[in-house]
Structure 1
Amino acid sequence: MQEVNPAETTRAYAFEMWMKAPMPMVTLFRTIDVSNLRKISLRKELKFNMLMCWCIGRAASQVKEFYMLPVGDRLVRYDSIAVNTIVANKMGEVSSCDIPFCDDLAEFNHNYLRLTRQVAESCKNHDIADSMVIGTSALAEYEIDGAVGMYSGVFNNPFMIWGCYRRSWFRTLLTVSFQFHHTQMDGTHAARFLDLLQKEIYSMKSPARF
């Protein structure tokens, strides 16, 4: 990661307009078809949440705006992406776990299982400081129509929230919310990311290595 001069990036105007805004976050909602993920999850006994996180990383890695993030009053460029998930720990509370993204699903799954187990047992967050982290929160036991994340003024990372999926005839649908800092990206970039997420889910093939 390295600090960059905003004036020398495509986010120069957005940095000037939104860095000091009292509420610079934008939230988009979308219902996506996750039938393919559910099928793969059941057939291969893979965690649905892990598959979602991997697809999120795949989609984000194709949008260059995800590699830059406002941090404090600076604009920082990262070389890598991680996906965060919230873990129920052994004390009955929740902890935060960052999973480094990689294209290899087997490796990502291995890291996901290892790190979430570590966090659940230790009750200590696992943070990756040198990657641009996409936050996620899965309220998988509950039906929700949407959620808007909190803006603390400290963390500017993009964040996704979803509840349980809904089965409808031959499709399985999931409503997600995606919150992002307007300095990092515009609505078109966010909408393109959600399009890419849907395409990644549609095109994902049942892995042979599991």
Structure 2
Amino acid sequence: MAREINPNDTTRAMAFELWMKATNPMVTVFKTLDVTNLIKMSRKKNMKFNMLLDYCIGKAAAGVKEFYLLPVGDKLMQYDTIAVNTIVMNKNGEVNSCDILYAGDFRKFYRDYMKYTAQVAKTCQDRDLSVESMVIGTSAIVETELDGVVGMNSGIFHNPFLFWGKYRKKWFRYELPISFQFHHTQMDGAHAGRFLENLQNEINRIK
């Protein structure tokens, strides 16, 4: 569920004043992740790499309270839940959007991911949870290696967003450069840094 809150009752009051009407309030940071553990788990258990990474993204975000806030229009909204979005290639060779609720249970996330991405691919209809959940966007351009992506400021959608390309093999490890874009009203660089550290930790410990 989402509800409007008074920014002055939150730690984001000053950021709300500074950034809500800024020409470009979006910030993009870059980090190279060690995804060796995800590659091994993907191959061993025959699970999709992007599903595993999306789960880790949800779990890492759940540990940073700022992810439960989001500027929507000219309001600051607070959410009770987080969802992770993934882009799905549909049966017509086009793309659709699919939101997966993060609830902390890996088996449930896995089942939901497989069920709803297949459903979206078949029906060519987006699955949108943005009314009730704060949605983290993701986009994987797996055809090529990327050093980074700078997203756009649409002025409409202020959701945090992660981009990545093809992972790289470096000796006996695998690396994945990612770009993380967020609205400065929602969080500061320190919060983004904590999330990215959480993400690396969740990647290392998932099994």
For Structure 1 versus Structure 2, the TM-score category normalised by the shorter chain is over 0.9
The residue aligned with 1:45 is 46
1:135-146 aligned within 5 A: 135-146=137-148
Name the amino acid aligned to 2:126: N
How far apart are 1:23 and its partner, in Å?
0.2
The answer to whether residue 156 in structure 2 is matched with residue 157 in structure 1 is no
Give the corresponding residue for 2:28.
Answer: 27
Can you list the C-alpha shifts for 1:102-138, whole angstroms capped at 9, x where unaligned? 2111110100011101111111110002100000001
Instruction: Write the mapping of 1:1-210 to structure 2, written as runs, cut at 5 A.
Output: 1-128=2-129, 129-205=131-207
Give 1:168 deviation, angstroms: 0.7
In the aligned structure 2, how far is the partner of 1:186 from the partner of 1:103? 25
Deviation of 1:203 after TM superposition, in Å, equals: 1.3
CA distance in 1, matches of 2:46, 2:107: 13
Q: Following the alignment from structure 2 to structure 1, what is the Cα–Cα distance between the partners of residues 144 and 90?
A: 19
Gaps of 5+ in 2: none
- Using the TM superposition, give the Cα deviation of residue 7 of structure 1 relative to its aligned residue in structure 2, in angstroms: 0.6
Helix, strand or coil at the partner of 1:83: strand
Q: CA deviation at 1:149?
A: 1.2
1:172 and 1:15 map into 2 onto residues whose CA distance is: 39
Structure 1 residues 50-101: Cα deviation after superposition (integer angstroms, max 9, x where no partner):
0000000000000000000000000000000000000011111110000001
Say which SS state the counterpart of residue 59 (structure 2) adopts.
Answer: helix
TM-score normalised by structure 1 residue count: 0.97
Q: In structure 2, how many angstroms separate the alpha carbons of the residues matched to 1:107 and 1:72? A: 32
3-state SS, counterpart of residue 155 of structure 1: coil
Q: How many residues align?
A: 205
What's the TM-score, normalizing by structure 2? 0.98
Task: In structure 2, give the amino acid aligned to 1:75.
Answer: L
CA RMSD of aligned residues (A): 0.6
Q: Secondary structure at the match of 1:124?
A: coil
Amino acid at match of 1:95: N
